[in-house]
Amino acid sequence: MKYKNYHIEKIHDYLFEIPAVDNMLVPGRIYVTEKMMDTIIEEDESIQQVINVAQLPGIQKYSFGMPDIHWGYGFPIGGVAATDYKEGVISPGGVGYDINCGVRLARTDLTVDDIKPHLRKIIVNLFKNIPTGVGSSGAIRKLGDKDMKRLLREGMSWAVENGFGDSGDLENTEEKGVLKQAEPGAVSQRAIERGKPQMGTLGSGNHFLEVDVIDTIYLPNEAEILGLFKNQIVIQIHTGSRGCGYQICDDFLKILARASQKYHISLPDRQLACAPIGSQEGQDYLAAMAAGANFAWNNRQVIMSLAKKTIMETLFISPSDLNFSLVYDVCHNIAKIEKHKVEGKERKLCLHRKGATRAFPPKHPDLPPKYQEIGQPILIPGDMGRYSFVCVGTQKAMEETFGSTCHGAGRLQSRKKAKMMGKGRDLFNEMEKMGVFVLAKGYHTVAEEMPYAYKDVATVTDVMEKAGISRKVAKLKPIGVIKG
């Protein structure tokens, strides 16, 4: 199999390798089926991006592509790269504009039969109480500088201390909802101003809040530990750091473009602008990016709290009747300092996961005590018409992918093409015929996010399971969605 002048070797049915040639410092590895690889070669430049990332100074082992891989800014979406903390670089392209875009899942004691008669009213009220769309604001009071700087530094504990959820939610959030290297002083005033009115808002694009039903249980023991059961109602939230994170990325792309020249770093693509991790520019980006990540965790926490309140008020039920609690929250656009084994020795690395989810195994010290037996919960959302999956991490993930797996379905069509396909159609009615009641700020958002615009997330998730990287626990089916 060939891509341009590169030979692609098949390692096994779900893994392909591009040997390190020319300026590549490590091989590229892509987790896909042969059929998926043929499609990527024909239609996507994401393979070239895997090759480009393999040229970053200090990169370790491989430049990875997950099965949801598609073209992104600098790095492919679905890309993973680990760079040595002392000798490597950090790149905003390996995180993306939406810093700590991520997913959280909350469980309830309600069943689908409990809410069927009230579903439309629940979705209407969620749409009313949780602002959506470009520039959306007003979910809670506009934050002042003091609150902003505190939450940027301290992470999700700010939301909990201000009455949004409880301390148990911190335990069930990746990194307990805070990256401790965050420094608000590294964040521009423009980024702070953009974030002030947007706390507790979904935004636009592929961000959503879903009311889902547990359709299938694959691993009963793991599902029980996660608090999941068949026909159960769960809430899935997908959003990130809004204008705050976008501005941080935009600011530092300019700074790190200059740093790349300053440190004489030769790059195959200027979108891979980077700086040595230990440099002032690298440390400043790491501190600002961490602050953006902390904003995102607070954002999802506030949205979850608003959703809980809305459901209780709509159904006239008590907290004990609802029994609402956070299963887990994962990020999939982030750079984190982690320790991993490379050639048998533990190394301090900077893990870039862009459109990729952490997938730590059982007994990992960073997991909550109640999940030590089963491994880290992984949330893999699909499109709004089919299904999503809850998985858990494996030891093989730690050995092969620095504890990383896929993050979602991955786009099959550009937003422009998807909008063209939706022209003249009643897309809201089409979704309702699929059993999903959708409310969105605009028609174009729904057109961009229709199921036909995405890969089948079941195929994507199966690749990682068959490769031994993550294991499926449950399948979720959407019945109600709000979008921007």
Query: What amino acid positions are annotated as catalytic residues?
Result: 407
Contact 447, 427 (CB under 8 A): yes
Q: At what angle do helices 242-262 and 280-315 cross, to 10 degrees?
A: 170
**In the numeric block, which tokens belong to residue 77?**
């979406």
Q: What is the dihedral of CA 59, 278, 186, 263, to 10 degrees?
A: -80
Beta bridge partners of 440: 483
Residues 6+ apart with CB under 8 A from 167: 160
The CA distance from 239 to 219, in Å, is 28
Axis-axis angle for helices 34-43, 46-53 (nearest 10):
90
User: Which distant-in-sequence residues (6+ apart) come within 8 Å of 345 by Cβ?
Assistant: none
User: How far is CA 127 from each of CA 66, 209, 478, rounded to the nearest angstrom?
Assistant: 33, 9, 16
Are 399 and 441 in contact by the 8 Å Cβ rule? The answer is: no
Cβ–Cβ < 8 Å for 467, 15: yes
DSSP string covering 415-441: HHHHHHHHTTS-HHHHHHHTT-EEEES
